[in-house]
Amino acid sequence: MGRTLRIAIGQIDPTVGDLSGNAAVIRKWLGKAERAQADIAVFPELAITGYPPEDLVFKRHFVDHNIQTLRELAKKTSTTAAVVGFVDREGQAIYNAAAMLAGGRVRGVARKAHLPNYGVFDEVRTFRPGAASPLFVVRGVTIGLVVCEDAWFPEPCRTLGRLGAEVIVSINASPYHRGKDEERRALFSARATESKAFFVYAQTVGGQDELVFDGDSLIFNRRGEIVARGAQFAEDMVLYDIELPEKARALSKKAVVVKISGPKPVKRIELPRQPRQVLDPIGEVYAALVLGTRDYVFKNGFKSAVIGLSGGIDSALTAVVAADAIGVDNVTGVSMPSPYSSNDSFEDAKDLAGNLGIGFAVIPISALMESFRTALGEVFAGRPSDVTEENLQSRIRGNILMALSNKFGHLVLATGNKSEMATGYSTLYGDLAGGFAVLKDVPKTLVYKLAGWRNDRGPAAIPDRVMTKAPTAELRPEQLDVDSLPPYERLDPILFSYIEEHRSFEEIVAKGSSAEEVRRVLRLVDTSEYKRRQAPPGVKITRLSFGKDRRLPITNRYREGSRPAPARAAPGGPRAESRKKR
């Protein structure tokens, strides 16, 4: 007869800074683990504080409160031990740590050794790296603890295996981006085989500002095979019986061991089968957008959202995501037609709202446009109409949406996509106005794929004409996006190469794009940094998003693929705005 360790992963959705609320969630899921007769329950990285706490950790009282919360939580442990992420402190140094709680107290701590300092991460700024941690014996099974980034390197997992760990538990708050699931599976499979131990990847779930955590917790056997996994983009409890030989792995004399509980025969309830359906690549992006939007709205105290519906694909997809995220009764779409808006666009916006069942309002802007023309007529006398008048339309719409936000408490959801954000094809204080930009990291070509994916899973909400008509801002007669930008099927690959792959001008041209087009696109990207810096946050779904991932100076004369450039026109000048509407 071998040894069995019943493990429960509490894949929870904590909120940054809500120490008491997070503790209550942990207690609830710990109770579920106890009722399932789990020997140990594992909760995510910094589950007490939420991740990332950023500069909150520089507030001494915040760290004190988090430590006291952990101790109070430890008092609730009885039959089931618990691993919980928290902020530890020793003297003036603070650590990203995992605590082992059992028998009413904190039994030991593992501190994160590898501190990520790239992309969205800035942990070197906030934490000190930790040193070797003890091994813990729970029900006769030896367990090693690591925190997130530590498992992305061979050490310390190999050392824990050599010291005698039979199970390595890794607590995580690993932000989602497309393709990350494949990276994790390959990496953690290797950690299991290298350490000759079961590997438990316990991941958080939920949205935090622009970050989304996708859940999908995993357990690997010693051959590196997945034997259990959690739900994607949803809270979940993963229960699994780890079966080990009767004879325990020998412990190294160098190992520091904390004995939590010895073997205890128990007649256990049988675990239910937990089949998990894995989302396809487009489906997981859609789920990320829904979860990120839902948590941003509700965690920031909003109950409803308002969206400008233009009759185009971006506002349509934003509305569908919002409806799926926070409920159709909590979403209002607003059509704001101008003299340049087509009847087709109005009908498409109306049909979308009807198909979804969201609120719908119509506020024409023609009279407001005329009042602006009258007010500015004298100072603009003798000058032809240009982008100024076009952008006034977008700004009028932005003002209307913000007025509705103020009056009814709605969060304004901006509708711009990554292709537009990249090239500056947007209007400051117009379509960039809003509290959250659902599609900020979604390239235009992916917008269409997501819309098709959602329609295919029905009931179809986005009208067919929206899916097929040429993209247009409708700020002047016969206007199309291709008047200002290359076709999106050519534009998006250039943007991907330049932004996410950091390719040079020459490398992008070598991949098949024309030199003239690449030079033009790169200049649009480089001269639009000031706009992106003023844009609202949005869900991160790519490896490199516009936000914490990308930190470029606004005042910057370096240009790829061209001679040193003259100074850019000042914000508000003729080149400062692209023609765009909402």
Catalytic residues: 45, 112, 148
Pairing of strands 436-437, 359-362: unpaired
Which tokens sit at 244?
A: 């080990």
**Considering only CA atoms, which of 457, 430, 416, 423 is closest in space to residue 539?**
416
Question: Which residues are paired to 211 by β-bridges?
Answer: 208
Contact assessment for residue 498 and residue 521, using Cβ atoms and an 8 Å cutoff: yes
Which tokens sit at 227?
A: 């034997």
Angle at alpha carbon of residue 326, lines to 321 and 331, rounded to 5°: 80
Question: Which residues are paired to 58 by β-bridges?
Answer: none
Contact assessment for residue 177 and residue 548, using Cβ atoms and an 8 Å cutoff: no
Contact assessment for residue 500 and residue 543, using Cβ atoms and an 8 Å cutoff: yes
d(CA 170, CA 96): 13
d(CA 405, CA 233): 28
Pairing of strands 198-203, 205-208: unpaired
Amino acid identity for residue 252 in this structure: S
Contact assessment for residue 470 and residue 482, using Cβ atoms and an 8 Å cutoff: yes
Quickly list DSSP for 193-250: HHHTSEEEEEE-EEEETTEEEEB--EEE-TTS-EEEEPPBSS-EEEEEEEEE-SSPPP
Question: Which residues of 130-190 form beta strands (DSSP E)?
Answer: 135-138, 141-147, 167-172
Placement of tokens 């233009």 in the chain: 310
Contact assessment for residue 334 and residue 361, using Cβ atoms and an 8 Å cutoff: yes
d(CA 532, CA 445): 20
User: Order of strands across the sheet with 411-414?
Assistant: 359-362, 331-335, 305-308, 411-414, 436-437
**Considering only CA atoms, which of 451, 333, 341 is closest in space to residue 400?**
333
Which tokens sit at 535?
A: 């844009």
d(CA 442, CA 531): 17
Long-range contacts of the stretch 21-27 (C-beta < 8 A, 24+): 22/47, 22/48, 22/49, 22/50, 22/69, 23/48, 23/69, 23/72, 23/73, 26/73, 26/82, 26/84, 27/73, 27/76
Which tokens sit at 413?
A: 């959801």
d(CA 316, CA 311): 7
Q: How far is CA 69 from the centre of its chain?
A: 27
Contact assessment for residue 365 and residue 336, using Cβ atoms and an 8 Å cutoff: yes
Which tokens sit at 80?
A: 């089931």
d(CA 177, CA 174): 9
What single-letter DSSP state applies at residue 471?
P
d(CA 300, CA 293): 11
**Considering only CA atoms, which of 561, 544, 536 is closest in space to residue 501?**
544
